[in-house]
Amino acid sequence: MKNLKLKSARAAKDLSQQQLADLTGVSRQTINAIEKGDYNPTIRLCIAICKVLDRTLDELFWEV
C-alpha cells in the first residue's frame, strides 16, 4: 500500500526524496520504496523520518 501521507508530508516540507534520505541516513531508493509501499521500514527509521518531518508515527505510518 502506497504511503501517500509520507509523500505529502515530505512535499509540505519542500524536501526531495534525496534530501529526506540524507537527513535520515538512508538512500533515496529506500525513501522511494517506502512511499511506493514496497519496503516496510524499521521503527528506528520511522522515528527518524517523523522527527525530520515534524509528524507523529500515527500521522505517517498508521493505517486507518
pLDDT at 64: 67
The reported pTM is 0.92
For 6, the 3-state DSSP assignment is: helix
Q: Which three cell numbers stand for residue 56?
A: 507523529
Amino acid type, 37: G
Q: Positive or negative CA dihedral for 46, 62, 56, 6? A: positive
CATH number at residue 34: 1.10.260.40
Q: For 10, which DSSP code?
A: H
Residue 63 lies in a domain: no
pLDDT averages per 10-residue partition of the chain, 64 residues: 94 98 98 96 97 97 81
Residue 27 lies in a domain: yes
Residue 32 lies in a domain: yes
